[in-house]
A and B are shown apart, each in its own frame.
Chain A
Amino acid sequence: MIEASLKDLAAALRAGTLSSVELTTLFLDRIDALNPSLNAFITVDRDGALAAARAADARIAAGTAGALTGIPLAHKDVFCTEGLRTTCASKMLADFVSPYDAHVVSQLKAAGAVMLGKTNMDEYAMGSSNENSHFGPAKNPWDATRVPGGSSGGSAVAVAARLVPMATGTDTGGSVRQPAALTGVTGIKPTYGVVSRYGMIAYASSLDQGGAFGRSAEDCALLLSAMAGFDPRDSTSVEREAEDYSRALGQPLAGLRIGLPKEFFAEGMDDDVRAAIDAALEQYRQLGATTVEVSLPNAKLAIPAYYVIAPAEASSNLSRFDGVRYGHRAAEYGDLADMYGKSRAQGFGAEVKRRILVGTYVLSHGYYDAYYLQAQKLRRLIAEDFAAAFTQCDVIAGPTSPTVAWPIGEKSDDPVQMYLQDIYTIAVNLAGLPGLSLPCGTGAGDLPVGLQLIGNYFDEARLLNVAHGFQQATDWHRRTPALG
């Protein structure tokens, strides 16, 4: 049952061979057994989940169920949930209970999905390893001494360890795709503006985008279809008709043109990752796709540009956490400025503070043109590189991460080394394009390697089908970590 696809789970629920209460209990019991060692969840809501499961069973009995009705789900703890605490993995919000649901949360509630709880993450989604969590690091289920990637590490671990069939995440610089790669699951970040940011605690608003984790592209397509859609409460939500992201699944890949950015294959990628990526590309050729070299000459500027834009926007977004309206307030303080300073010093972790300081500096008087404006100009150059590449190919492929999962603690004291882990994912956010990671092989230590597929704007359905075609021909996505 824990290996069943969402489609098969929905069919079993509708056929009455399985109830949502049974399915929900099964996964809740797995969480009870395995979460103490994996730390994938910050909050588990057994009572709420069982109540939602009973409601789903009634809906199934009434014949009004949808594709996800009765199926368990986990939300990254960056999405606000009314009545259940939303921490963003920060001491600042350790006791915060949102007065409203995020758009994504209400969409999935309406679909009848059963939320089991909220998953671990890097604090405020700032990190690539899930080590920057006030609640401790999530562990990679393939090797619990290693990181699962981040920032949506808990969601990736929950799906990889089969603690839940599907989970939401957010991706500002790779935070869905990179943990998906490091834990051996499929994850998609759609085009910027496809998933509403309403109720998603903001990090870098011009880059933040909700995304989906599943065991397969087929499952991700179902989840994304329920998450996406225009929402007037998000000022950058794109006004488009709702889409069925499963619609292209099963189309043959013969004739597909896959672009391989020469910059992604030049250097910096570990040999074991390269071998797995090369084998995956060979698999695509066997499926009838052709590969063509493309160039993204400005991709190397993505990391520096990102570490201006994201901290600048973060310094503004996180100014709301002042100990007045919500969140942590220091126990002792003098005047108002002292209260702000102490509350924020105590409430934020080290990496969050660093990014706020970087952002404050680059936006301070006299530096705007040299930093933020320059970074936004580089952003355009990077987007233009992708536009040129897409004149020669239908999708772009390459590694998601330059390495397999690394040992916990190895990079946590060196921010720049950590930042460089996102070398292949960040440019996609800057351009606002959709990106997906799917498990495509293993590297050193039998650890998962992810293949990244990048699509043109609003080409999610094709991207999912390109991943689905690979998963029909291979079984990397079916590998499961051995757990107690």
Chain B
Amino acid sequence: MSLSIDEVRHIARLARIELGEGEAQDTLDKLNNIFGLIEQMQAVDTSQVEPMSHPQDVAQRLRDDIVTESDRRDAYQRVAPQVEAGLYLVPKVIE
């Protein structure tokens, strides 16, 4: 398979990464090389194989529904680019 430059632009939009005009072609070439490598996977018939997501096939642990975290809002917001009155500031999203 081979991606088109429009597909690369579409993926970049989905990934929220701005792609400069000059970057698109180089990105396309490198991604196509990577997908060339990945395509080797398709040669194997895996119709009878169960997918594996964790080597020990463990189940998610459950815990009691109680508060375990302390309030550290100030510490967490100290590293934010822009906060005001305990709120994270972003450009206006609703007109």
Question: Are B61 and A304 in contact (CB-based, < 8 A)?
Answer: no
Chain A, interface residues (CB within 8 Å), range: 35 or more
Residue of A nearest to B83 (CB): A325
Which A residues touch B92, using CB under 8 A? 335
Taken residue by residue from 319 to 341, chain A's Cβ proximity to chain B (1 for < 8 Å, 0 otherwise) reads as 10011111111000111111111
Question: Are B18 and A344 in contact (CB-based, < 8 A)?
Answer: yes
B44 at interface (Cβ–Cβ under 8 A)? yes
Q: Contacts A236-B58, A336-B90; is A303 near B37 (CB within 8 Å)?
A: yes
A356 at interface (Cβ–Cβ under 8 A)? yes
Distance to closest chain B CB from A482 (angstroms): 38
A262 at interface (Cβ–Cβ under 8 A)? no
Chain B, interface residues (CB within 8 Å), range: 35 or more
In-complex Cβ contact of B91 among A96, A99, A336, A358 (8 A): A336
Question: Are B41 and A236 in contact (CB-based, < 8 A)?
Answer: no
Question: Are A315 and B88 in contact (CB-based, < 8 A)?
Answer: no
A118 to B15, CA, bound (A): 29
Q: Contacts A304-B39, A340-B16, A354-B34; is A99 near B79 (CB within 8 Å)?
A: yes
B51 at interface (Cβ–Cβ under 8 A)? yes
Question: Are B36 and A416 in contact (CB-based, < 8 A)?
Answer: yes
Taken residue by residue from 56 to 94, chain B's Cβ proximity to chain A (1 for < 8 Å, 0 otherwise) reads as 101011010000000010011011111000001011110
Residue of B nearest to A99 (CB): B75
Residue of B nearest to A298 (CB): B44
Chain A's interface: helix, strand, loop or mixed, by majority?
Answer: helix
Question: Are A315 and B61 in contact (CB-based, < 8 A)?
Answer: no
Question: Are A324 and B49 in contact (CB-based, < 8 A)?
Answer: no
Question: Are B54 and A432 in contact (CB-based, < 8 A)?
Answer: yes
A413 to B18, CA, bound (A): 21
Q: Contacts A357-B12, A378-B46, A383-B52; is A232 near B37 (CB within 8 Å)?
A: no
Question: Are A206 and B79 in contact (CB-based, < 8 A)?
Answer: no
Q: A341-B16, A378-B46, A379-B52 are in contact. List 18 more A-B contacts (CB 8 A).
A: A96-B79, A192-B54, A193-B54, A236-B54, A328-B81, A329-B82, A336-B91, A338-B18, A344-B17, A357-B11, A357-B31, A360-B15, A361-B31, A374-B46, A375-B41, A380-B50, A381-B44, A416-B37
Point out residues on A near B: beta carbons under 8 Å: 96-99, 191-193, 206, 232, 235-236, 238-239, 298, 300-301, 303-305, 307-308, 315, 319, 322-329, 333-342, 344-345, 348, 353-354, 356-358, 360-362, 364, 370-371, 373-381, 383, 414-416, 419, 431-433, 457
